Amino acid sequence: MKNHFIVRSRRIAVAVLIPALIQSLLPISALSEVAYAADAALKNPYLDSLRRDYYVEECKAKLGDAAKKPGCRIAPRLNAFVEWMDSIGGAPHDSVYGKALKDHYASLASNKTRYAADVKGWPLIGDASAPLTVVMYFSGTCPLCKRNFAELHHEVTKGRFKGRVKIVAKPFGVNALNKALVAAYDMGRFTDVMLALARAEGRVDEETVYGIAESMYFVRDKFKAVAESQSVADRVNASYAEGKKNGVELVPTYIIGGRRYESVSNTWWIIDTFEYIAGETGKK
């Protein structure tokens, strides 16, 4: 499949994943430093100039100089992001790259607007005492949400963010699947059902969730009654209203330490943002 960028509202979704092997060898910042030390020109001249001339406010320098500046934690990550865009290519216009870098910077920058979310009474994944809270707005109808949930679940329960990051999952969208997932939470099996949905092949609908619930020995009529209850409907509506207030337009959307993640929906870059903001949290 041809690499390509898809521009959707405030977000740019990328339909290519970086090979897992590369991810396991070096952290993103290290990959950036190695690549930058080589000082090799990028394939795309526009990206080459963007890497050289983009101004990084937090480092008071252009990206080309900031990436070499000791103590500027954000620049190597921005530099790696530019190099990644160059490696996948496929944007319909150079301006897409500029917006992508701007959005990625906004997701990391410490001076951006903070967003609040009610985290009580919603599924929590990871250690409840972890210092960094990530709110994930999702929908059961969104394949990417379920895939990302499975990958991020591993990172915060068994991976490098165990004890460092916790995720609170909140439905965005008033639909039967979201209500069924809230019912699964009320019955103590939200994570199991979400992970099962991530493994499901083909179209996922309400019946898929009921089938998964039955495989987990839920009584179908009881589960359906909870899913269709007014209490669940009120909570799903409230979560949707909160998401809209926080500027959520598409799912998945993440609020990481109070910052709305604006960048690509690739879990590698979401995880890199965890790493960056968790590092800041750990200094406080």
For residue range 42-77, list pLDDT tens digits in order: 888 999 999 889 999 999 999 999 998 888 999 999
Asked if residue 271 has pLDDT above 90, the reply is yes
Question: Rounded to 5 degrees, what are φ and ψ at 241?
Answer: -65, -40
Domain ranges of the chain: 5-113+262-283, 124-254
Helix (H/G/I), strand (E/B), else coil: 190: helix
Candidates 3.40.50.620, 3.40.30.10, 3.30.1360.200, 3.40.50.720; CATH matching 124-254: 3.40.30.10
For residue range 224-246, list pLDDT tens digits in order: 999 999 999 999 999 999 999 99
Residue 19 pLDDT class (50, 70, 90 cuts):
very low
Asked if residue 23 has pLDDT above 80, the reply is no
The pLDDT score that the predictor gives to residue 29 is 44
**Mean pLDDT for all residues in the chain:** 86
Helix (H/G/I), strand (E/B), else coil: 169: strand
Task: Give residue 230's identity as a one-letter amino acid code.
Answer: Q
pTM of the model: 0.85
* Strands 55-56 vs 61-62: parallel, antiparallel or unpaired: antiparallel
Looking at residues 85-114, what average pLDDT do you find?
88
Helix then strand then coil, in percent of the chain rounded to 5, is 55, 10, 35
Question: Rounded to 5 degrees, what are φ and ψ at 138?
Answer: -135, 170
Q: In 132-266, which ranges are continuous DSSP H helix? A: 143-157, 176-186, 190-199, 206-215, 220-227, 230-245
In DSSP notation, 80-111 reads HHHHHHHHH---SSHHHHHHHHHHHHHHH-TT
Task: Give residue 144's identity as a one-letter amino acid code.
Answer: L
Task: Give residue 186's identity as a one-letter amino acid code.
Answer: D
Residue 90 pLDDT class (50, 70, 90 cuts):
confident
On the CB side of 128, CA atoms within 13 Å amount to 6
Structure-model confidence comparison of residues 182 and 17, the more confident one: 182
When mean pLDDT is compared across 107-121, 148-162, 250-264, the lowest value belongs to: 107-121
Q: Taking a C-beta distance cutoff of 8 angstroms, is the pair 249, 9 a contact?
A: yes
